Chains A and B, each alone.
Chain A
Amino acid sequence: MTTTDKRVAEEVPLTAHRRSLTNVGFEWLSTGAAALILVLLAAVAAFLLTEAWPAITDTSGELADKVSWIKPEDGESLLQVVGYLIFGTLLISAIALLIATPLSIGIALFISHYAPRRLAAGLGYLIDLLAAIPSVVYGLWGAIVLIPVLQPFYAWLATYFGWIPLFAPDPTTGVVSPTGRVALSAALVLAIMIIPIITAVTREVFLQTPKLHEEAALAMGATRWEMIRMAVFPFGRSGIVGATMLGLGRALGETMAVYMILSVGLSTSFAILQSGNHNTIAAYIASQFPEANMQGVSALIAMGLALFIITLLVNMLARWIVSRRSEFSGAN
């Protein structure tokens, strides 16, 4: 206790009361909690690295020999398989984000600035409820209910917009996937899954726009939409980016929904209406793990490491954007 007393004296406290046991206790608790996160992160990283090491450092070709899904006869290596998977993961997540972000901002704006108060409260509650639905339920619903409904729409899309490479039908059969188990379906379900997350965060940010800014804009004769553009968006920009990145994080790591919806394959094709072209890292690990031998497990964990790094990079990028943007936001 003596050391604590000394420190308090040195810091010249504003209020001169002694630091109680509760204060010290709480400080230790919160420091411990923060440290635990770092320890966990380090433990996960260490686990991924040590387990993946045999696969990463393998040069003898033994890996390709023992792991049946790496096909050296087709010129494939672990790196290439991971490359295909990273492409699939990023493609599906990006489309999901592209669909979810504008929708989420619209919903959040409606709740924070347009809807009557009572409706807004109910709607906000419903959105939060959506976020609590387990992903396996979204996966089942997508696979059994949504996909059969979407398939005719895909066929229509390919007929009229097939000249866009994204919507190109299968060149050999001339049609899109008859089951609808394609990347766009996975992306749509992922979008539905991340909408509640993005909406919940952006709504909170929009609600915190200083009333003075809003009233100032309105006083200058701005319409409501102009007020939102002048006051709400600049204030909430960093919040929107943060929320989007949170959603992207979930989309990148989502396993079950993709696993149940997508007809998988490996390629770098942008044709999101063709089946058997895409897969994501998380879904791949889940599907190959049960039958994997020792070398296979190591290779799968190497993929997990790749996903871990991508997620870290995405989060760092988001941080960077937020910190850059905050200079221009109306918040200061």
Chain B
Amino acid sequence: MGTSFGRGGATTFQQDLQNSDCIVIMGSNMAENHPVGFQWVMEARERGATVIHVDPRFTRTSAAATKHVPIRAGSDIAFLGGIIHYILKNDRAFKEYVVNYTNGPVLLRDDFKDSEELDGFFSGWHADKNGYTHETWQYKDMDTHGEPPDTDKTLQDPRCVYQVLKRHYARYTPETVARICGTEPQHVIDVAEALCANSGRERTSAFCYSVAWTQHTTGVQTIRGAAIIQLLLGNIGRPGGGILALRGHASIQGSTDIPTLFNILPGYIPMPHAHAHDDLKDFIESEGAKTGSWGNMDKYIVSLLKAWFGERATEQNDFCFDLLPRINGDHSSYRSIMGMLDGTVKGFFCIGENPAVGSANSGLHRRALANLEWLVVRDFSEIESASFWYDAPEIESGELHTESIPTEVFWMPAAAHAEKDGSFTNTQRLLQWHHQAVEPKGEAHSDLWFYYHLGKRIKEKIAAQEEPFSDPIAFLTWNYPEKGETADPDAQAVLREINGWDANGRALSDYNGLKADGSTACGCWIYCGCFKDEVNQTARRKPGSEQSWVAPEWAWAWPANRRIIYNRASADPQGKPWSERKKYVWWDEEKAEWTGHDVPDFNKTKRPDYTPEAGAKAEDAIAGWQPFVMQEDGLGWLFVPNGIVDGPLPVFYEPHESPVKNALYSQQANPCRQQFPRTFNESNPSPSDAHGDVFPFVLHTYRLTEHHTAGGMSRTVPHLSELQPEFFCEVSPELAQLRGLTHGDWATIFTSRAVIEARVMVTDRVKPMRVDGKTLHSVGLPYHWGSRGLVTGDSANDLLNITLDPNAHIQETKGLTCDIISGRRPRGKDVPDFMNAVRTRSHLEGQE
């Protein structure tokens, strides 16, 4: 979403779904996994809205929808492509929106070649590097960077994005798409028609998605598919419209905004790169933009450096920019796991996370943990990632031995949410404060306490002894008021630093107040304003019943408390609402300002007819009719010239492991996908390979209402464990018959990575599909179980392979291959024997 619209967050908020006329839920079982948020879908349905669920399984969400469309796991891009094909072929786009608010009219370079011309590749492909260079994806004549690009507002020029799109999707006909997805052509037409009929001036449609879109080797491009639909239909920035990313953890949005991620600093500022960024000036020039909100990169980064290095950061020393470490490639978590196995990563902090159960190929993770020098695990109870050294399945099978595992383990008790102050950022970018109710018991402390005191100790030690490059630690500001006997740092003081302050030390009220001269400090520019007027805005709790549906006085949303972003697009180019029914933010000519139900996501006093002067910088370069203020050109990107590594448009590829051949291109899977071929992370052969039939079934994993991811917060809870006591596999009656599986009995499921067992659940909620003339069966597995807790079971994630989306470095869990047989799995030393036999059958022994 970041590349299409400018910000990597949900464009709307859950309550606004009630205003939708059509909601498509895809890649998500929202009723099961976000049940309380689902009430807003039900509100819309009660009002008469169409609710469509596109999913391989018939789930609780399907049961509550007006239409369920079954498609094969991993075929989403084809299905979305079918909708785009329908819109373009039947001329159903919202033209006024497309022409003014998107890059549809922009002309592309003559040497750009589409994947339709090059059999699954775009121009710029370098087979030797397994990647693209992006010059040919640029706008035409963009050598004069910052000038408006050439456009054709009639959308007729064959080089304009709209026409390129038309050609790109020409083959995604309902019949072809249905053949790939294992569904009916009429389903494709029905969904596309429902969306078209419920979009335009008077009506809006919304998309909801979740990890069944992201957890693919084509995850980012799947979301791009929805972005293209929503831009073509004019549904972004408008009430009842948008794309709602449904995140699975209390603060998963927050942990991206203030990232515990390798490639970004707070507020999506990139981490400095070893080759590109010698000094602060280089960094701002290459990572900032001349136009749009990123034109203020200097203000964001300098204010961050001031927050971190305080008085020590001065203009003379580049505000300590040199003290930041540099990245030079992928340093994501799966790469770190490989580093542990290879011995380059020696120490590991595992904080509220359980990779020994929860990460793809969890067996490989356990082997990695067993090869560390030291490991710190902080959690509520002793999870599998802390106990692997004596109870991992690899110990039972004799592949690992406790006495040979060098890892020094520190297990530390953590505080629960009601035992500490702090804020979570929910799925709609809303920061909500939770207050401490009681003190944690014993030695349990918040992670805030742990990191604050660890930092304090490290600073003391650095002051007393010689260390390499100690300045960043010595200079680091680390003064937070301590409270009570346990010297807990004051979480509000940390939030205030995140918000930032001006030259006089007063809390800033929004990011427009940030300066590049070092007079302001701000820990995360997009969160600037959360401590406006010295008040913790995230703790605001004016009851919803006393406010409009937007509820602007409940907590605080980034950016600047805006609840629907890009909401300038809810008005027409002249600033008038598209319709009375869909009125949201509009231009008030009398007051000469933007006004409405929400905080305008636009310069409040910028007139709708404002035309930037030549050479205008940053936000001044965004015209009064361009709603996507973060983008350099202020437009929603149907076509992405920059920022995505595997292509400017989504292309349908089969999953990394698939039982069928790609029907559209001879390129089988995403050529840019990130692979880690090594022992214990073998790939099942796919049909174009030899022995592609050894793993004939589709495997996908999912979650249940009663459990939470790897189970660390649910397998220890008596009520939840009782509600979902046992690991099971969902299979169709046809597959059960084919493999002799009995409902309630045991089945053994295996891939080239692992073998596990589960209770059989035979259900017609899962149906075999006809894909390209072939019957395809699937095995569905909830992945919550492990060897510990009140209820135990094998871990579905043991079966998975680590192969990643090249943009987000997210693994594919929603469409792999496997086999299933009746009965219990082998035990002890029989496990490696069984696995060796499986690998021999699939001829994987020699795989590098």
Q: Tell me whether A and B are bound partners.
A: no
